[in-house]
A and B are shown apart, each in its own frame.
Chain A
Amino acid sequence: MIVVLFGGGLLLMGAPSIARATLGEPAASVAADAAQMNAAEGANTARLLPGLPAQNTPTSGNFTVERLTTPEGTVVSEYIGQSGVVFAVTWRGPTPPDVATLLGTYFKQYSDAANTGAPSPLGLHASSVHASDVTVETAGNMALMWGRAYLPAALPAGVNLSEIK
C-alpha cells in the first residue's frame, strides 16, 4: 500500500477544490482524496475511539476497503467493488471529513436534496437523505460524527448494506 503523507496546507494552496473524488470514481481516487484532505492512508488505530464496533472489515469477497485517517483522527473508509469503482464511503470520528471531496460529483445532488423539504424526521442528530443517485446517512453529536454515503445502483451483487459501516 502506498502511504501518502503530505505536508499540511501546501496542497490546499493554488488549486482549490479539485476534488477528484471518490464516490463513483476509480480506486485511484482514494489517494487523491487523501491528498485533498491531508489524510494518511490507512487507519490510525491509536486514535480510534473506544467502544466502537470494528469498522470496514469486508465480510464478503465482493469488495475491498481502503481507509484514510484525517489529521483530526476521523477514519474514512472507501468501499471499492470488483469493477474498481468506489461505491460507498463511510466516516467516523471527532469531526466530519471533507464530505464534498468524498462525494465528488454527487455532493451537489446530496446537498440540494438535504436542503429541501422538512427537517429530518430523525431529529437534530441524525438524517437520511435519498437523492436520485446517492443515499447519505449522517449522525452525530459534538464529539462524534458518523456518516455513510453510497450509490444504490452501484452496490455490487451480494453486498448487504449492513456490511457498509
Chain B
Amino acid sequence: MKPRKLTMFAIVAAMLATLTSASPVFAAAANVLNVNVNHGINGQGVDQPFGHVTVCTPGTNNCQRIGRLLIDTASFGLRIFAQALTVPLPTEKSGPDAIGECVFFGSSTAWGRVATADVKMAGEPTISNLPVQIINPQFPSVGHRPAACNRIGVPIARNPLQANFNGILGVGLVQFDCPACVSSTPANGYYACTSTNCTRTTEPLVL
C-alpha cells in the first residue's frame, strides 16, 4: 500500500560538447545533450561542462528547464539545488518519513531530500518518476541536518552561487548510486526524516 521509495538514479546520456561558446552551435538531435564549458555561475571555477534538463511534476505538464547542471562523470544521477527549483516535486516517503540523502564528493557534500520527477533530456523520451536529489542544507528543517552528514569537514553544498552550479548531472557508468544501501546504512547514504530528525535507513533499488 505504501509506495516504495525509489532510491537510485539511472541517467543515460550521450553528450556532445560545444566548446566554451555561450550558446549551443548544434541543432538539437536525439540522444545528444549540448554542453557548455565555462567557469560556472560565480565565474571562479575551473573549466567544467554544464548542461540542462527539463524536470516536470510527475504526470503533469508543469515543467521547468534547469540549466547550469554540472556534467559529472564520477557520480550518478540528477541532483538539483532547491533554490534552483520552481516546480513542485513530491518527496519520496518511507511510511510517514521523508527520504533524505547524503552524498560525499571529494570537495563538498550534498544533502537533501529525494524527490521524483519526470525528466526530459537530450531529445529522448520522458523518464517518468525518476528519483532525484533536491540539494538543501536546511532539510528537513533548519538546524536538523544529521550530524553524520557533517562530520567529514568538506563544505556542505549550500546554494548555486557557492557551489558554482544549479545541480549535478552524474553520468558515470553505474546504474545505481549506492548499491550497498540496500542492506547497509553508511553515512553517505539514505535517511528517513521527520521534520526535525533523520536516521539512517536502507533503500531498495528501483529497476
Contact = CB atoms under 8 A, between A and B. Distances in A.
A96 B152 contact: yes
B153 A99 contact: yes
Nearest to B161: A119
B153 A124 contact: no
B106 A119 contact: no
Nearest to B177: A142
B23 interface: no
Interface string A73-94: 0000000000000000000001
- For A123, A124, A143, which residue has the most chain B Cβ atoms within 10 angstroms? A124
Contacts of A118: 42, 44-45
Interface residues of B, number: 37
Contacts of A103: 153
Interface residues of A, number: 33
A119 B153 contact: no
B186 A124 contact: no
Contacts of B155: 114-115
Interface in B1-41: 40
B168 A124 contact: yes
Contacts of B104: 95-96, 140, 142, 145
Contacts, number: 103
A141 interface: yes
Contact of B46 (A72, A94, A114, A123): A123
A119 B188 contact: no
A126 interface: yes
Contacts of A98: 151
Contacts of A13: none
B172 A141 contact: yes
- For B72, B106, B163, B180, which residue has the most chain A Cβ atoms within 10 angstroms? B106
A135 interface: no
B106 A100 contact: no
A103 B184 CA distance: 26
A89 to B, nearest CB: 12
A95 B153 contact: no
B178 A142 contact: yes
A157 interface: no
